[in-house]
A and B are shown apart, each in its own frame.
Chain A
């Protein structure tokens, strides 16, 4: 054992003098950093602020007596997510144990039954959806209409108290969902527009894509927010809706570029073969080119979802209270001004966990897609 460890470290840490030097600098430095971070986390850090303000962090200023609505929305999102997962990865028993971690963690961290209970329910729904689409192929057929219905019902259940009250992590998630879903059809249209027979359509689509790709998102969101009411004076849209429109307008250009790269990956011979069969252009694109192209671009599109989620905090510029802003609002209370590190660590860790899950899913999908492709 010792001999093995010696050999391993010899090979992996001290292979050459330069390597040894690197190791001797990096290892103590890293260890010291980890040690001081852990020491701070377990001794001086005052974590009580996190459970105390959990509700603000998660749903912002959504009325406390309406929390069931937020849970319902999260439940629907969980069901859809599970169903989508089931289409790609089969549900196994060990997944159930992984799923059980978050509600247990909530229960342990001193959150009462009114939080851990619904959380456990949401996780259970997610697992059911996952298992359903894994083992009942028929369920996959109805996935698209079901997700559409789910989508509408999320809004139906969240809207009554007022769209302006959405906030916290839930707002970040909803914003990401809406943007990802809405930008897909627009992006596909733009991608086809960029390959159109008509030079005018090509110019317009290319111009739109290129302009959006060279402007900062924060500006696009801010300007849409300013301009919408100027354009339609009598039509009053909530901030949240304007933010979503801004995000969609911006990310459609990115989705268009991903889809275009997918379209280019479809061999020319396929369209030529279809033409020789006398199919119309629309039919060729709909049933031959697009399905193959989308297959290629699913992993980058999942990566794009991560980009959207990571850009969500930018809505602070139009006065929305997303997850990051909720954290800053807690710190705005001068009594808690010295808890900066605690709040930011919590935010960073939450984002890192969520982001890692999305990245992991994208990588798995890539591997999964690579198996079936020629």
Chain B
């Protein structure tokens, strides 16, 4: 075994041109590299979407990527978007190909236990919904017994649907899986699928952006909760903690009414808490291996959580998802967006 170890070490040395020791945190790797490799989808409007007319990436997940890049490297342009699919997103993190993934991923225990990844805080509260075409005459989920319901391969919805059929004793219903959402939507439009099921936000995006939004009906039923979060490779608490507090910084900034526009005023603020949060004269960043002004940097880049939400899912977008009264509202307004105590 010693011999094997030596051989393996030799091979590693030969292969690893820019080898980093296995114990080094991703945080150090990113800082050394000077670029953040962020895994996102590029076909999910509102979350990770490549706008083919401008050639720019946009969406809530994309903004979180930018916020992390700004917080860690102090420069929002130092982010590289790497496309991941529902199928490849876990492998991408496990193989160090990306440093963090924000790809509308549902947080569930099996993923953390079996796949060796760690989730970051929830950045969007969603639920598994079902969408049908209006002319099918279906108005609620229980009408769909015996139907073919389609979803994406490797998504959590696959299991949710199977369990929903089981719970209702539907033996003739079928789950059909496609490898991406655009094929799913095409199959729904053609009539191959009687219903399409995925996260409600995505359903709203596809219906809202389609030429005839009135043709589609998102059923009132929510099959299951589907909280989204980014994730990083397991057992790297340094990196994970830094990213967690980047999230909480965005949440807290909304609570403390710090926006992209008033950031410069707030930097001059007399309030000691706001000063410390924004890293004026010492802050919270040092302990995480970040710059003291990391919250200020991320707000400068993309704004607070409310601004990120409104930019991508707010009233001025085609896929408007109202925040009021949902879990996505700030906790002060009855929602679940909540930052732990900073002081």
A interface residue numbers (CB < 8 A to B): 52-53, 55-56, 61, 63-64, 162, 164, 225-226, 228-236, 239, 318-321, 328-335, 337-338, 340
- Give B248 Cβ to nearest chain A Cβ, in Å: 29
| Residue B88 interfacial (CB < 8 Å) | yes
Given A333-B52, A333-B209, A337-B189, is A236 in contact with B97 using a C-beta cutoff of 8 Å? yes
Given A52-B53, A162-B80, A334-B210, is A235 in contact with B17 using a C-beta cutoff of 8 Å? yes
A329 touches B80 (CB 8 A): no
Q: B18-26, B191-199, B331-339: which one contacts chain A?
A: B18-26
A338-B210 Cα distance, complex, nearest whole Å: 9
A329 touches B186 (CB 8 A): no
| Residue B83 interfacial (CB < 8 Å) | yes
Q: Knowing that A53-B52, A232-B16, A329-B52 are A-B contacts, what are 16 other residue pairs whose CB atoms are under 8 Å apart, sorted by A's residue number?
A: A61-B42, A162-B80, A164-B82, A229-B96, A235-B15, A235-B16, A319-B84, A331-B186, A332-B182, A334-B207, A334-B210, A335-B209, A335-B211, A337-B185, A337-B186, A337-B210
B210 touches A335 (CB 8 A): yes
B15's contact among A164, A232, A318, by CB below 8 Å, is which?
Answer: A232
B43 touches A332 (CB 8 A): yes
Of A318, A319, A321, A335, most B-chain CB atoms within 10 Å:
A319
Name the residue on A nearest B21 (C-beta).
A234
Name the residue on B nearest A228 (C-beta).
B95
On chain A, the residues within 8 Å of B82 by CB distance are 164, 239, 319
On chain B, the residues within 8 Å of A330 by CB distance are 52
Name the residue on B nearest A229 (C-beta).
B95
| Residue B55 interfacial (CB < 8 Å) | yes
| Residue B120 interfacial (CB < 8 Å) | no
| Residue B50 interfacial (CB < 8 Å) | yes
On chain B, the residues within 8 Å of A321 by CB distance are 42, 83
A319 touches B55 (CB 8 A): no
Number of interchain pairs (Cβ within 8 Å): 96
- Give B260 Cβ to nearest chain A Cβ, in Å: 24
Name the residue on B nearest A333 (C-beta).
B52
Given A233-B22, A318-B88, is A329 in contact with B96 using a C-beta cutoff of 8 Å? no
Scan B73-117; emit 1 where CB is below 8 A from any A CB, else 0.
Answer: 000000010111100100110111100000000000000000000
Name the residue on B nearest A49 (C-beta).
B52
On chain A, the residues within 8 Å of B279 by CB distance are none
| Residue B181 interfacial (CB < 8 Å) | yes
A334's contact among B17, B45, B96, by CB below 8 Å, is which?
Answer: B45
B19 touches A334 (CB 8 A): no
| Residue B342 interfacial (CB < 8 Å) | no
On chain B, the residues within 8 Å of A55 by CB distance are 55
B210 touches A231 (CB 8 A): no
On chain B, the residues within 8 Å of A319 by CB distance are 82-85, 88, 92
- Give B181 Cβ to nearest chain A Cβ, in Å: 7
- Give A255 Cβ to nearest chain B Cβ, in Å: 25
On chain B, the residues within 8 Å of A338 by CB distance are 211
B19 touches A56 (CB 8 A): no
| Residue B231 interfacial (CB < 8 Å) | no
| Residue B170 interfacial (CB < 8 Å) | no
| Residue B206 interfacial (CB < 8 Å) | yes
B interface residue numbers (CB < 8 A to A): 12, 15-22, 42-43, 45, 50, 52-53, 55, 57, 80, 82-85, 88, 91-92, 94-97, 180-182, 185-186, 189, 205-211
B18 touches A235 (CB 8 A): yes
- Give B278 Cβ to nearest chain A Cβ, in Å: 32
A56-B53 Cα distance, complex, nearest whole Å: 9
- Give B55 Cβ to nearest chain A Cβ, in Å: 5
Of B19, B88, B97, B186, most A-chain CB atoms within 10 Å:
B97
A226's contact among B21, B95, B181, by CB below 8 Å, is which?
Answer: B95
A63-B81 Cα distance, complex, nearest whole Å: 12
- Give A70 Cβ to nearest chain B Cβ, in Å: 13
- Give B42 Cβ to nearest chain A Cβ, in Å: 7
A61 touches B50 (CB 8 A): yes
B84 touches A56 (CB 8 A): no
A56 touches B15 (CB 8 A): no
On chain A, the residues within 8 Å of B95 by CB distance are 226, 228-230
On chain B, the residues within 8 Å of A334 by CB distance are 45, 185, 205-211
Of B22, B85, B95, most A-chain CB atoms within 10 Å:
B95
A329 touches B16 (CB 8 A): no
Name the residue on B nearest A236 (C-beta).
B96
A176-B40 Cα distance, complex, nearest whole Å: 27
On chain A, the residues within 8 Å of B180 by CB distance are 328, 332
On chain B, the residues within 8 Å of A234 by CB distance are 12, 15-16, 18-22
On chain B, the residues within 8 Å of A230 by CB distance are 95
A233-B95 Cα distance, complex, nearest whole Å: 7
A39-B137 Cα distance, complex, nearest whole Å: 35
A340-B189 Cα distance, complex, nearest whole Å: 12
B96 touches A233 (CB 8 A): yes
Given A56-B55, A330-B52, is A226 in contact with B211 using a C-beta cutoff of 8 Å? no
Name the residue on A nearest B181 (C-beta).
A332
> Can you list 26 A-B pairs, Cβ within 8 angstroms, ordered by A?
A52-B53, A53-B52, A61-B55, A63-B55, A164-B80, A225-B91, A228-B95, A232-B12, A233-B12, A233-B96, A235-B17, A236-B97, A239-B97, A319-B83, A319-B85, A320-B83, A328-B180, A329-B43, A329-B50, A332-B181, A333-B45, A334-B205, A334-B208, A337-B186, A337-B189, A337-B211
On chain A, the residues within 8 Å of B97 by CB distance are 229, 236, 239
A53-B54 Cα distance, complex, nearest whole Å: 10
- Give B12 Cβ to nearest chain A Cβ, in Å: 7
A334-B95 Cα distance, complex, nearest whole Å: 33
A53-B52 Cα distance, complex, nearest whole Å: 7
On chain B, the residues within 8 Å of A53 by CB distance are 52-53
A329-B83 Cα distance, complex, nearest whole Å: 12
Name the residue on A nearest B55 (C-beta).
A64
On chain B, the residues within 8 Å of A162 by CB distance are 80
A334-B50 Cα distance, complex, nearest whole Å: 13
A191-B208 Cα distance, complex, nearest whole Å: 57
On chain B, the residues within 8 Å of A318 by CB distance are 88
A61-B189 Cα distance, complex, nearest whole Å: 28
A229-B97 Cα distance, complex, nearest whole Å: 8
A240-B92 Cα distance, complex, nearest whole Å: 14
